[in-house]
């Protein structure tokens, strides 16, 4: 992670080679997806029965899902707009949709998406410093929300008396992890010297771990932490809260798609209530931290279906149908839009470079 304090970092290149690691990651992704959709999913429910349930949805529910899906697409740029208040919605839309497409289609595409994101922001008039601040704060706040949502949902289940002992243990572990994260950020914010000391300790620890595998650790976490601290101070507490709130809204919009799909499949008086659905959704989203497959494709779906079925008693084929609707509505529209925004941006950049030359 880089930031705009002190010496301004150079923008990351928007070009990345598709090397051996990417090919290996692609192969692993294909193997995981085949295993999930050909082995795991059939063990959880029946595809034909799920398709029958989807076909049985009323026109009203289909329209509701279309409207909410459009809302998800419209809301998605909000975190970047919150981090860069002066950015135009059209520019933020292009950056966020392109980044979504790369991160959720290309195995291990996070680094590639980061480079493209810097390149696009530079095209829209943002130098490396404010771009790095915005990207860093947006990413950190999104991570906090992704970790906090399952904890909050599990605490909710505990309060209404519907949580298992496993859920209680997971909630407690989650609270501890969030506490450690908040405490670490507070320590880093104390002073630049403290941030550098923590970073140096992490560098030594990671170098020792990498040494066990006869690998070299080439990152400079001390500098990264100092720059991250500067990013937090530059953006300010109020802005961080706004960015975190917008990330929360963005993630809950995805959950709304799942909840409406559940209502459309099982009806308002079904076996799964909204608290249980939120727990299944938020816990399954933790799979997005695993870079293979990208965006938790397949793994999140299987976890979500399994929780709805085995933990909360939803009919297996109905759960599969609802999750497949959620995946189709929150994945494919933004992937296709992201392809379009990437092509459009590259054409504009090529014209701008030609004109400047």
| pLDDT, tens digit, 9 for 90 and up, residues 294-345 | 777 888 888 899 989 988 889 989 999 999 999 999 999 999 999 999 999 8
pLDDT at 18: 53
Residue 14 pLDDT greater than 60, yes or no: no
48-56 — which CB contacts under 8 Å span 24+ positions?
Answer: 49/317, 49/321, 50/317, 50/318, 50/320, 50/321, 50/324, 51/321, 52/317, 53/265, 53/317, 53/318, 53/321, 54/265, 54/321, 54/324, 54/325
Residues 231 and 128: beta-carbon distance below 8 Å: no
- Which one of 20-34, 56-70, 152-166, 276-290 scores highest in mean pLDDT? 56-70
- 176 vs 54: which has the higher pLDDT: 54
Residue found by looking up tokens 């930031």 in the block:
3
Lowest mean pLDDT among 13-22, 118-127, 283-292: 13-22
Residue 36 pLDDT greater than 90, yes or no: no
Please state the rounded mean pLDDT for residues 19-30: 67
Q: What's the token pair of residue 178? A: 């969030």
pLDDT grade for 350, boundaries at 50, 70 and 90:
confident
Residue 293 pLDDT greater than 50, yes or no: yes
Q: Which of 94, 80, 182, 178 is nearest to 138 (CA)?
A: 80
Cα gap 35→28, rounded to integer Å? 11
Q: What is the DSSP string of 161-193?
A: T---HHHHHHHHHHHHHHHHHHHHHHHHHH-HH
pLDDT at 75: 96
Residue 166 pLDDT greater than 50, yes or no: yes
Backbone angles phi, psi at 70, to 5 degrees: -60, -40
Cα gap 283→260, rounded to integer Å? 18
Record the pTM: 0.79
- The overall average pLDDT reported for the chain is 81
pLDDT at 8: 37
Q: Determine if the peptide bond prior to 32 is cis (ω within 30°).
A: no
pLDDT at 41: 66
């Amino acid at each position: 992670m880089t930031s705009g304090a002190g010496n301004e970092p150079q923008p990351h290149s928007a070009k990345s080679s598709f090397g051996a690691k990417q090919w290996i990651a692609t192969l692993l992704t294909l193997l995981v997806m085949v295993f999930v959709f050909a082995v795991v999913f059939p063990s959880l429910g029946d595809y034909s029965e799920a398709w029958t349930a989807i076909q049985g949805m009323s026109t009203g529910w289909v329209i509701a899902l279309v409207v909410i899906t459009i809302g998800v697409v419209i809301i998605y740029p909000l975190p970047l707009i919150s981090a860069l208040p002066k950015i135009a919605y059209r520019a933020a839309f292009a950056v966020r949709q392109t980044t979504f497409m790369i991160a959720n289609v290309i195995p291990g595409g996070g680094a590639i998406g980061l480079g493209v994101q810097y390149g696009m922001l530079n095209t829209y008039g943002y130098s490396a410093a404010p771009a790095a601040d915005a990207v860093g704060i947006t990413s950190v706040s999104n991570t906090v929300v992704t970790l906090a949502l399952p904890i909050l949902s599990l605490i909710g289940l505990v309060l209404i008396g519907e949580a298992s002992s496993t859920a209680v243990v997971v909630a407690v572990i989650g609270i501890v992890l969030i506490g450690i994260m908040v405490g670490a950020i507070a320590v880093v914010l104390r002073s630049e010297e403290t941030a550098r000391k923590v970073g140096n300790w992490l560098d030594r620890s990671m170098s020792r771990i990498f040494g066990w595998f006869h690998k070299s650790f080439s990152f400079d976490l001390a500098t990264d932490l100092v720059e991250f601290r500067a990013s937090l101070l530059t953006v300010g507490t109020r802005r961080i809260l706004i960015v975190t709130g917008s990330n929360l809204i963005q993630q809950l919009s995805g959950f709304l798609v799942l909840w409406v799909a559940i209502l459309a499949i099982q009806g308002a008086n079904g076996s799964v209530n909204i608290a249980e659905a939120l727990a299944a959704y938020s816990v399954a989203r933790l799979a997005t931290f695993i870079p293979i497959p990208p965006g938790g494709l397949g793994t999140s779906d299987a976890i979500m279906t399994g929780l709805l079925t085995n933990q909360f008693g939803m009919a297996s084929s109905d759960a599969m149908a609802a999750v497949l609707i959620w995946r189709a509505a929150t994945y494919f529209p933004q992937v296709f839009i992201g392809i379009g925004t990437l092509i459009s941006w590259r054409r504009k950049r090529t014209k701008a470079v030609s004109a400047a030359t």
